[in-house]
C-alpha cells in the first residue's frame, strides 16, 4: 500500500501553467528551454576547449626546454615560434572566443528565451517539465513527491 506524503500537492505555482496558456504554447516554451539548455552545454564545451588549449600551450614551455636540453634546437625553435602563443583563430586566443560567444549569441539566446517566457507564461520556467513530472510520478509513493519537504 503506497505511503502518503505531506508534500504530495500538485506542482508549485512557480511552475504551474498560467490560465489561458494552451498546450502548444507550453510545448513551444519547453522546446525553447531545451534549446537553451543545449546552448548552456555548448558554452561549457567552449570553456573546456579554452582550458585545454591553454594547458597545451603552457605544456609547450616544457617541450621547448626538453628539446633544447636534448640538443634539438631547430625543432625547439619551430615549436617556440610557430606554436607557443599562437592564435587558435585569426587574431583570437580562446578567451576571446569565449567572451564573444558569451556577449553575443549566448546572451541573445538567454534574452529571447526569457522574453518569450515573460510574454507567454508570466515568466514561469519549466512548465512543460513540471506537467510531465505530475503525469509520470506515482502519487503517494516515497520518492515521487511533488515538492521537497518544507
In a domain, 145, yes or no: no
Query: In terms of pTM, does the model score above 0.85?
Result: no
Average per-residue pLDDT for the chain: 91
For 111, the enclosing helix (H) or strand (E) is: helix 107-121
Q: DSSP letter at 80?
A: I
Residue with cell 615560434: 81
* Cα-Cα end-to-end distance for the chain: 24
Residue 130 has a CB neighbour count (10 Å cut-off) of 21
In a domain, 9, yes or no: no
pLDDT digits (tens, 9 = 90+) for 20-64: 999 999 999 999 999 999 999 999 999 999 999 999 999 999 999
Q: How confident is the model at residue 12 (pLDDT cuts 50, 70, 90)?
A: low
Considering its fold, how many domains does the chain have in total? 1
| Nearest-angstrom CA–CA distance, 108 and 104 | 6
The residue count for the chain: 150
| Nearest-angstrom CA–CA distance, 102 and 11 | 33
| Nearest-angstrom CA–CA distance, 100 and 125 | 27
Q: Identify the weakest region by mean pLDDT among 1-5, 6-10, 69-73.
A: 1-5
In a domain, 144, yes or no: no
Full residue range of the structural domain in which residue 104 is found: 16-135
Amino acid at each position: 500500500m503506497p505511503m502518503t506524503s505531506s508534500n504530495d500537492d500538485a506542482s508549485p505555482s512557480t511552475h504551474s501553467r498560467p490560465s489561458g496558456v494552451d498546450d502548444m504554447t507550453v510545448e513551444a516554451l519547453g522546446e525553447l528551454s531545451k534549446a537553451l539548455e543545449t546552448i548552456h552545454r555548448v558554452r561549457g564545451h567552449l570553456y573546456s576547449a579554452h582550458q585545454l588549449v591553454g594547458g597545451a600551450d603552457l605544456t609547450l614551455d616544457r617541450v621547448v626546454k626538453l628539446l633544447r636540453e636534448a640538443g634539438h634546437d631547430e625543432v625547439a625553435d619551430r615549436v617556440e615560434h610557430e606554436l607557443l602563443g599562437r592564435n587558435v583563430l585569426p587574431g583570437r586566443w580562446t578567451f576571446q572566443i569565449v567572451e564573444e560567444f558569451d556577449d553575443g549569441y549566448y546572451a541573445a539566446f538567454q534574452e529571447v528565451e526569457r522574453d518569450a517566457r515573460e510574454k507567454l507564461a508570466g515568466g514561469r520556467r519549466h512548465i512543460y517539465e513540471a506537467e510531465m513530472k505530475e503525469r509520470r510520478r506515482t502519487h503517494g509513493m516515497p520518492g515521487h513527491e511533488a515538492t521537497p519537504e518544507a
